[in-house]
């Protein structure tokens, strides 16, 4: 199996895991304060990440890696979880998912700005069309959204896209699970300290579904999913593999249907087929062997160096 295909498979597994994040967050914020939820999930994942780094005797990151790790922390450890949790107090899970349809485009743009990738022009046609299909369909499903919730979700998408691209670029040197683990550890003093100051006044009103949702977003959304996702972006290319996120809203809507009784229609199936075509087109016109192409432009490490970081 070549490294690009391996990257796409790894990225798809990451998307599957992330698909449960918004429905789980929606369940959790019904009984848990959004700020505490954000801090608790980051703290739990940070402790697990620290255990992995210590247990596997990983080297400390270089000083030059601290700024990129800080960007990852602000984007995906704090920014996206907090902004989506706040947004879900104003909008439904289905409405929030429409904004996730814009995440592949945001990630691809930041992949150019931060990762030095250069997809062909046709890539942007397929990427834009796929994002429009997902966002338009989910918006119709969810109805008109609150302006406050919409602005919060837009901020979340921008923060997440930057965090994804920055983390993928860094993963080429450190490895995917190391990047998210160090990002979590870097933010741990802040998240753990603030969590202790925002403990719920009473735990009695928090039921089992909310606790299970917290466990999911802590273990899978904040740690395990990133192991696969950053590995996929680094091996398969940020711009190309990021388009797999177009599937995330549909997986999320199906989960929302099962967990939150939100309807799933045949229209969703039809749009999903169109999205598959857009993802295939985007993959076709993304820069072949993205990391290798980036080397030709002097932007990234050699493919062999990337592959070695995952051995």
Nearest alpha-carbon partner for 226 in 57, 41, 92: 41
CA distance 79 to 299: 27
Q: What is the pLDDT of residues 193-228, one digit of tens each?
A: 999 999 988 888 899 999 999 999 999 999 999 999
Helices 176-197 and 147-174: angle between axes, nearest 10 degrees? 130
Mean pLDDT of 146-174: 88
137: containing domain: 3-198+206-308
Higher-confidence residue: 310 or 38? 38
The residue to which tokens 């998408």 are assigned: 157
Give the count of domains, the chain: 1
The pLDDT mean for the chain works out to 81
C-alpha 139: how far from its chain's center?
20
Categorize the per-residue pLDDT at 297 as very low, low, confident or very high, splitting at 50, 70 and 90. very low
Percent of the residues in the chain that have a pLDDT greater than 70, as a whole number: 81
How many residues make up the chain in this entry?
Answer: 311
At residue 142, the pLDDT reads 57
Mean pLDDT of 114-120: 73
Residues 226, 180 contacting (CB under 8 angstroms)? yes
Q: What is the pTM of this model?
A: 0.76
């Amino acid at each position: 199996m070549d490294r690009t295909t391996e990257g796409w498979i790894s990225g798809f597994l990451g998307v599957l895991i992330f698909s449960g994040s918004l429905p789980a967050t929606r369940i959790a914020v019904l009984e848990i304060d959004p700020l505490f939820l954000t801090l608790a999930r980051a703290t739990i994942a940070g402790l697990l990440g620290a255990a992995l780094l210590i247990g596997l005797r990983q080297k400390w990151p270089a000083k030059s890696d601290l700024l990129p790790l800080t960007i990852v922390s602000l984007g995906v450890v704090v920014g996206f979880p907090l902004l989506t949790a706040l947004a879900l107090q104003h909008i439904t899970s289905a409405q929030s998912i429409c904004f996730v349809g814009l995440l592949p485009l945001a990630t691809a743009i930041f992949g150019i700005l931060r990762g030095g990738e250069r997809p062909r022009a046709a890539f942007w046609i397929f990427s834009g069309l796929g994002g429009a299909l997902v966002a338009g369909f989910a918006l119709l499903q969810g109805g008109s959204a609150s302006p406050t919730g919409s602005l919060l979700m837009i901020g979340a998408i921008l923060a997440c896209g930057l965090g994804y691209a920055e983390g993928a670029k860094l993963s080429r040197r450190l490895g995917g699970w190391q990047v998210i683990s160090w990002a979590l550890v870097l933010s741990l003093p802040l998240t753990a300290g603030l969590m202790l100051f925002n403990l719920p006044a009473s735990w009695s009103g928090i039921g089992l579904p909310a606790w299970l949702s917290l466990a999911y977003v802590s273990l899978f959304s904040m740690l395990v999913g990133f192991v696969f996702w950053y590995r996929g972006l680094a091996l398969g290319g940020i711009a190309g593999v990021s388009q797999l996120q177009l599937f995330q809203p549909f997986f999320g809507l199906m989960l929302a249907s099962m967990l939150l009784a939100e309807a799933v229609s045949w229209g969703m199936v039809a749009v999903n087929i169109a999205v598959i075509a857009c993802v295939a087109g985007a993959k076709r016109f993304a820069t072949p062997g993205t990391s290798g192409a980036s080397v030709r432009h002097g932007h990234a490490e050699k493919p062999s160096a990337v592959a070695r970081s995952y051995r």
